[in-house]
A and B are shown apart, each in its own frame.
Chain A
Amino acid sequence: AQTVTQSQPEMSVQEAETVTLSCTYDTSENNYYLFWYKQPPSRQMILVIRQEAYKQQNATENRFSVNFQKAAKSFSLKISDSQLGDTAMYFCAFMGSNAGGTSYGKLTFGQGTILTVHP
């Protein structure tokens, strides 16, 4: 079974600074997909960024980028120029692609990191 670990329960950063959230995972699969989701206090879960394991290039979405280290099974999220609106719980999530059907529609989530951006 896959597991996802976020070792930082809470992080804080000053507005306009850069912060990195850590995520490690464990899987025996070679092809899989990784995601970062953001859940603000309003509770709506929002996709931040997605990475396909077969792609060597790290995904980037505006101020958000990832450092994907496949051999180390590490998938960290870097937020540049932090904004007050980035305050939220951030979840790292894994989706496998095995042929056995056990991956259909199933995201495995880490425990989350609460990020607070201070003015």
Chain B
Amino acid sequence: KAGVTQTPRYLIKTRGQQVTLSCSPISGHRSVSWYQQTPGQGLQFLFEYFSETQRNKGNFPGRFSGRQFSNSRSEMNVSTLELGDSALYLCASSSTGREKSDTQYFGPGTRLTVL
């Protein structure tokens, strides 16, 4: 089975721009979670989607948004980029999402640099 894939792997943007990151979960997985990883703040939860619905959201401003498609692929969007948005963005998928304890499997991440 193919693992979680994320595209693109690297992005360079300038302040004020917007960006869209994509995540394809493991086949059959219906839950996708997104995390931001920075040296200062560590790993922080952004949001989780299941069956095209956002079920949970972390403490991030409204500039961070996401969506999930019927094939479980997910995208996250960041508008009006700030320097502090530079980070590694990780997505993770889990099997059914019915159990809150489902083990999450991570993708390789997208490295976003904001200049």
Contact = CB atoms under 8 A, between A and B. Distances in A.
A35 interface: yes
* Dominant SS among interface residues on chain B: strand
A105 interface: yes
Interface residues of A, number: 28
A98 B90 CA distance: 24
Given A106-B33, A111-B42, A45 B106 contact: yes
Contact of B88 (A32, A37, A43, A47): A43
Interface residues on B, range: 20 to 34
A105 B94 contact: yes
Identify which of A43, A52, A97, A112 gathers the most chain B CB atoms within 10 Å of its CB: A43
Given A43-B88, A47-B105, A109 B56 contact: no
B60 to A, nearest CB: 13
B100 A97 contact: yes
A105 B101 contact: no
Given A95-B100, A104-B97, A107-B92, 5 more contacts: A43-B88, A43-B109, A44-B107, A109-B42, A110-B42
Interface of B: 31-33, 35, 42-43, 45, 47-50, 55-56, 58, 88, 90, 92, 94, 97, 100-101, 103-109
Interface of A: 32-33, 35, 37, 42-47, 50, 52, 91, 95-97, 101-112
